[in-house]
Amino acid sequence: MPSPPPPDWYLRLDRALQVEDAEQARTQARALLDDIREEQARVRERLDMLSSASFEGIMVHVDGAVIDVNDRLCEMVGYAREEMLGPEPMRRSIAPEDLPAVIERVASHYEGAYVITAIRKDGSRFRAEIQAKQGHIGDRPVRVAAFRDVTERERTHALLRESEQRFRDLARTAFDFTVFSRDGIVVGVDGDPAPIIGVTSAQMIGRPILDFTAPSAQPIVRQQIQSGRVGPYEAVAVHSNGDVVPVSCVVAATTLDGQPARAAGLRDLRLVRHLEAERRALEQRLQRAQRLDSLGVLAGGIAHDFNNLLAGVLGNADLLREMVVSREEREIAEAIVVAAQRAAALTRQMLAYAGQRDLGRREPVDVGDLVGELRTLLGATLSKKAQLELAVDARSVVAGDRATLTQVLMNLLTNASDALGDQAGIIRVVTRRISDPDARWESALGATVRPGDWVLIEVRDTGCGMDEATRGRVFEPFFSTKERGHGLGLAACLGIVSAHGGAVLVESEVGRGSCFSVLLPAGDDERTAAERPAAARPSRPCKVLIVDDEPLVRKQLRRTLELRGYTVAEAANGRSALSIVDEVRPDVVILDMTMPDIDGAEVLRRLRAAGSRVPVIVSSGYLDVSVERKLARGEFQGFLAKPYGASDLAAAIERALASVSDPAPART
């Protein structure tokens, strides 16, 4: 039986091998096929080795149906190789929220990398990066997807982003904005630069930093850039409208988009400079107030001792004037009285500066009427070339002492006239009622100014004005710019205004005049019958207890009162007075406020605590504020400021007795 013809491949192989017979061809073909199988096995082995050694999971699929995976992918998702084949594994291994996007990428043959959330067989999740690539197996198109577990990388990136956000928030808190630059050219801006330099972030990029720097600060900024220096320094930016803005800069080396850069955090220093200026101004005002207070204590102490001496001089001079009979002796006594009264007036100015309080009754004072009276009174005293203008509010009424307020206005008008000198000018006096004083009053001297009911008095002149040094000392006692001035006028004004609970503000500039402003608490214009001064009662001699630590004062008062028929008892100090008051049983007590053992306020308190209602006349050459605070109004019936005359003493005693509804009869 003839052999069948060989197949075509055999013939072709036979021709390719160029053998002479078919048997030899079969032998060589078998050997060649074995070689091919071995080579395929080696290739498969190498592919398996590479696949298993890969750090990435490999998946081969056709339109989502998996036809092959490597061991690494099986390890990543926890499935066996057989479980990963077919159309379902992809849906099981991808989180539902990411699955639609993956299906869309597969359908569109997307090539590239993206990140999804993958699901393991045990249900746990991890972040995976997929690198998709279109490929072929023979003529068959397939898609190859490489999976990489990027959970740690994503966590690191999240921590990095969190850290960057934290530092960014910190930088935005510490700085108004941050500029990134290379070689002095702006390459990035974080924050809003508009409030400082008036341009947007986009308008800054690509421009030199020096374009936004004031000319005065360009040398230091240029040096910082050229030297590559890091750290803090201060510079001056320039706003687009031309304003210069002091800024604080903190420079650090950093990177931007992977390239080296310099980051400069900028902080607007305008508010800081303003606060520093306010602090310096407050310190200066505090130092000036402390200096004035110290001088006030000194002036008050001197005036107290001087007034005690003057009380003896003036009282004894009054007695001498009444006792002498010859004309020449009376003139000598009169001269002593006049000299003592002038000395007393000088000490009253010192006491006014020291802030002595008037413990008597306050009355409504119409400042407008007061200005009108002074206009007539000072007509011959003010400069003939001064034009006096008045703008007076009819409601300018304050509660105070008319005499001392007259002294304040007189001093201010006289100083304004002196400021004009021989030149023609204007003195303008304005009074009005205000409720909300402006910020200027924060630098005023005297009481603290707050919103309320105030009367404002302004005395403005067009005279020579004052420089800053003079303006800072005008209220110091014994400081004067006048050749013959004693420097107590404005000092007394400050004390009087302070005693009324008011404040004084001076504004002046050389060559442009001055303006002295006084702010006083407003008062009620209505006066009740109870507020009107009571008519003086006829003198009725009675028993008087004098409590004073000055022997000269006690002796003078004793002589004065005994000549008028009074019975007098003395106490040299507060303890002595308290020990004899029940024995003496006085009708009136004249009580000095400043004594070495216990002060007059404490004596008065103990008297009232013991039930005594005896009328008390408080007397002092200088009443310290701390002592005044201890006095309760209504507990004393009069106040005598040393030195005082015999008629003042008698009138005070009569008023004290009149204040008692049923005064006790005189005891002998």
User: β-pairing, 177-182 with 185-191?
Assistant: antiparallel
Of 315, 333, 353, which one is at a domain's C-terminal end?
353
CATH code (residue 652):
3.40.50.2300
Give the model confidence (pLDDT) of 441-477 as tens digits.
Answer: 887 888 888 888 999 999 999 888 888 888 877 777 6
Domain membership of residue 1 (yes or no) is no
Q: Are residues 325 and 428 in the same domain?
A: no
Question: In this structure, are residues 494 and 445 in contact, taking their beta carbons and an 8 Å threshold?
Answer: yes
Domain membership of residue 358 (yes or no) is no
Q: Are residues 179 and 197 in the same domain?
A: yes
In angstroms, rounded to a whole number, what is the distance separating the alpha carbons of residues 107 and 655? Answer: 114
Q: Give the CA distances from residue 435 to residues 107, 455, 505, 520, 588, in Å, rounded to whole numbers and listed in that order.
A: 80, 9, 17, 11, 44
In angstroms, rounded to a whole number, what is the distance separating the alpha carbons of residues 178 and 76? Answer: 44
Domain membership of residue 667 (yes or no) is no
Q: What are phi and psi of 359, to 5 degrees?
A: -85, 5
In a 10 Å sphere around its CB, with 0-12 CB exposed, 13-18 middle and 19+ buried, how is residue 520 labelled?
buried
CATH code (residue 255):
3.30.450.20
CATH code (residue 495):
3.30.565.10
Q: Are residues 466 and 435 in the same domain?
A: yes
| Residue 488 pLDDT > 60 | yes
Q: Are residues 605 and 561 in the same domain?
A: yes
Which residues, other chains included, contact 292 with Cβ-Cβ below 8 Å and sequence gap of 6+?
Answer: 445, 475, 476, 494
Of 268, 295, 310, which one is at a domain's C-terminal end?
268
Domain membership of residue 621 (yes or no) is yes
**Which whole number is the average pLDDT over 191-217?**
92
| H or E stretch at 629 | none
User: β-pairing, 112-119 with 185-191?
Assistant: unpaired
**Which whole number is the average pLDDT over 56-68?**
86
Question: In this structure, are residues 615 and 642 in contact, taking their beta carbons and an 8 Å threshold?
Answer: no
Q: Are residues 250 and 198 in the same domain?
A: yes
Report the amino acid identity of residue 535: A
Q: Are residues 33 and 115 in the same domain?
A: no
Give the model confidence (pLDDT) of 211-240 as tens digits.
Answer: 999 999 999 999 999 998 899 999 999 999
| Residue 200 pLDDT > 90 | yes
Of 325, 353, 381, which one is at a domain's C-terminal end?
353
Q: Are residues 393 and 469 in the same domain?
A: yes
Question: In this structure, are residues 196 and 182 in contact, taking their beta carbons and an 8 Å threshold?
Answer: no
Residue range of the domain that includes 28: 8-49
Position 580 scores a pLDDT of 92
Q: Are residues 35 and 76 in the same domain?
A: no
Position 668 scores a pLDDT of 34
Domain membership of residue 664 (yes or no) is no
Bond from prior residue into 451 cis (ω within 30 degrees of 0): no
Q: Are residues 385 and 510 in the same domain?
A: yes
User: Could you tell me which residues are beta bridge partners of residue 427?
Assistant: 388, 461
Question: In this structure, are residues 618 and 593 in contact, taking their beta carbons and an 8 Å threshold?
Answer: yes
| Pairwise pLDDT comparison (329 vs 51), residue with the higher score | 329
End-to-end CA distance of the chain: 185
pTM for the structure as a whole: 0.42
In angstroms, rounded to a whole number, what is the distance separating the alpha carbons of residues 503 and 494? Answer: 8
Q: Are residues 126 and 187 in the same domain?
A: no
Domain membership of residue 511 (yes or no) is yes
Q: What are phi and psi of 65, to 5 degrees?
A: -90, 120
Give the model confidence (pLDDT) of 2-14 as tens digits.
Answer: 455 554 444 444 4
Give the model confidence (pLDDT) of 133-157 as tens digits.
Answer: 888 877 788 888 889 888 888 888 8
**Banded model confidence at residue 49, pLDDT cuts 50, 70, 90:** low
Q: What are phi and psi of 412, to 5 degrees?
A: -65, -40
| Pairwise pLDDT comparison (163 vs 500), residue with the higher score | 500
User: β-pairing, 57-62 with 140-149?
Assistant: antiparallel
Position 485 scores a pLDDT of 55
Domain membership of residue 668 (yes or no) is no
In angstroms, rounded to a whole number, what is the distance separating the alpha carbons of residues 564 and 646? Answer: 10
User: β-pairing, 231-238 with 125-137?
Assistant: unpaired
Instruction: Return the sign of the alpha-carbon dihedral for residues 134, 137, 140, 142.
Output: negative
In angstroms, rounded to a whole number, what is the distance separating the alpha carbons of residues 322 and 422? Answer: 47
| H or E stretch at 292 | helix 270-323
The mean-pLDDT minimum among 238-252, 255-269, 306-320 falls in 306-320
Position 371 scores a pLDDT of 83
Specify the DSSP class assigned to residue 642: S
Position 163 scores a pLDDT of 72
The mean-pLDDT minimum among 368-377, 632-641, 654-663 falls in 654-663
**Which whole number is the average pLDDT over 389-395?**
85
Position 237 scores a pLDDT of 93
Q: What angle (nearest 5°) sits at the alpha carbon of residue 467, between those of residues 463 and 471?
A: 90
Q: How many domains does the chain have?
A: 6
Q: What is the mean pLDDT of the chain?
A: 80
Domain membership of residue 2 (yes or no) is no
Which pair of tokens denotes residue 436? 């909300």
Percent of the chain whose pLDDT exceeds 70: 78
Position 533 scores a pLDDT of 41
In angstroms, rounded to a whole number, what is the distance separating the alpha carbons of residues 301 and 464? Answer: 35
How many Å is the Cα radius of gyration of the chain? Answer: 52
Q: Reduced to 3 states, what is the DSSP secondary structure of residue 112?
A: strand
Q: Are residues 388 and 524 in the same domain?
A: yes
Question: In this structure, are residues 302 and 350 in contact, taking their beta carbons and an 8 Å threshold?
Answer: yes
In angstroms, rounded to a whole number, what is the distance separating the alpha carbons of residues 374 and 396? Answer: 16
In angstroms, rounded to a whole number, what is the distance separating the alpha carbons of residues 180 and 262? Answer: 5
Give the model confidence (pLDDT) of 407-438 as tens digits.
Answer: 888 888 888 888 888 788 888 889 999 988 88
Give the model confidence (pLDDT) of 576-626 as tens digits.
Answer: 999 999 899 999 999 988 888 888 888 998 998 888 889 999 888 765 555
Q: Are residues 211 and 65 in the same domain?
A: no
User: Could you tell me which residues are beta bridge partners of residue 392?
Assistant: 431
Give the model confidence (pLDDT) of 83-137 as tens digits.
Answer: 888 888 888 889 999 999 988 888 888 999 999 999 999 999 999 999 998 888 7
